[in-house]
Amino acid sequence: MVEIRGERGEPQPREWTFLLSDPKARGGVREVTVAEGRITSERTPLRGLAVMTGLVPLDTKILAFDSDKVFRTVQAEAAKSEIGFHWIDYTLLTDPQSNAPVWNVKLYDYMGASVGTIRISAVGGSVVSPLRATPASGEEPAPSESALGGIVGTVSKTVRRAVTSTKDSTLRFIGTVQEELVGERTIGPKEKDE
C-alpha cells in the first residue's frame, strides 16, 4: 500500500481509496475503494497513477495517528490560525525525506475553494508542516507583476480590480437571493447602505 486517500471529510469521508503498488497490474497500481467497511470498487487504472509505482510503501505497523485524531488536530490548528473550513481531504503516504508516514491535509470552504494545507505525522501526531492559508485569488499580485510599470502594469492592475469587483458583486447577489429565500445570509457581503 503506497497511499490512502479520503475526500470531503466532514469530519470523515464517506469512502477511502487505497492505492497498492502491484507490478502484475496493467498500470502497476491497483485502486481499492472502501465504504462502510466494505470494498465498493477495485480497478487497475492505466493512466494518471504511474508515479505511484515508485513510492515507498506505507509502514502500517507504525501508524498510530488515525484520521479522527488528524481532524481534531486540524480543527485546533485552524482555530489558532483563524482559518474557517467546511471539509478536508486526507492523503496518507510515506514522506520521501523522513521515510515516515505523513498525513497531507487540504482544507476547503463551503464553496469548495482551498483555504489551507497542513502536514501531520501519522506516527506521533506532531505537525510536520504548519497550517498555511491558501491566498485568495486576486489578493496579492505576484512580485514580478507588481513591479510592472507603464501600460502593462496599468492594464494588469485594472484587470485584477475588475475580477475582484465582479467576484464581490456575484457573491453579494447570491447572498441576497439566499437571504430572501431562506431568511439567512451565509454567502457574500451584505448590500452597501446608500
Q: Is 172 exposed, middle or buried (0-12, 13-18, 19+ CB in 10 A)?
A: middle
In this structure, the number of other CB atoms found within 10 A of the CB of residue 116 comes to 22
Omega before 11 within 30 of 0, i.e. cis: yes
Q: Could you give phi then psi for residue 167, rounded to 5 degrees?
A: -60, -45
Give residue 145's pLDDT.
Answer: 43
pLDDT tens profile 67-115: 999 999 999 999 999 999 999 999 999 998 889 999 999 999 988 999 9
Sign of CA dihedral 52, 54, 59, 65: negative
Name the residue with higher pLDDT: 18 or 149.
18
> What per-residue confidence (pLDDT) applies to 54?
65
Q: What is the pLDDT of residue 190?
A: 62
List phi, psi (to 5°) of 135: -65, 140
